[in-house]
Amino acid sequence: MNRGEDYAAAPICLTFEENFVTNRKKVENMNELSGTERRNINPGLSVSIVLKQDQRTGKLTKGIVKDILTSAPKHTHGIKVRLATGEVGRVKIIG
């Protein structure tokens, strides 16, 4: 084998386009609202929560926020809310 062939087969770095797409995905993820921050959640907001009995399976329940139960500004597992239906759980998805 020729040494030039070995180096040509292995990419040395990302192209400009690949780097741009990778960085854009990171920025888009940073702009998404997080269910772990209280400031992102308000009464009347549509959210998906995990109920206590569904924590093992991760099953989501959709609803409208009636009350915010977590007083801390952040919670690693999600802000605890009460939905308009009376169900209580931690916010996983906003919207």
Domain count within the chain: 1
- The domain of 61 spans 38-94
- Return the pLDDT at 15: 55
Domain contains 45: yes
Domain contains 46: yes
Domain contains 25: no
Domain contains 89: yes
Domain contains 23: no
pLDDT in tens, the chain (95 residues): 555 555 555 555 555 555 545 544 544 454 467 899 999 999 999 999 999 999 999 999 999 999 999 999 999 999 999 999 999 999 999 98
Question: How far from 80 is each of 7, 54, 60, 76, 90, CA to CA, in Å?
Answer: 53, 14, 14, 11, 4
Domain contains 10: no
- β-partners of residue 82 are 67, 88
Domain contains 18: no
- Return the pLDDT at 33: 79
What are the helix (H) ranges across 1-95?
Answer: 3-9, 16-31
CATH no. for residue 71? Answer: 2.30.30
Domain contains 19: no
Q: pTM of whole model > 0.75? A: no
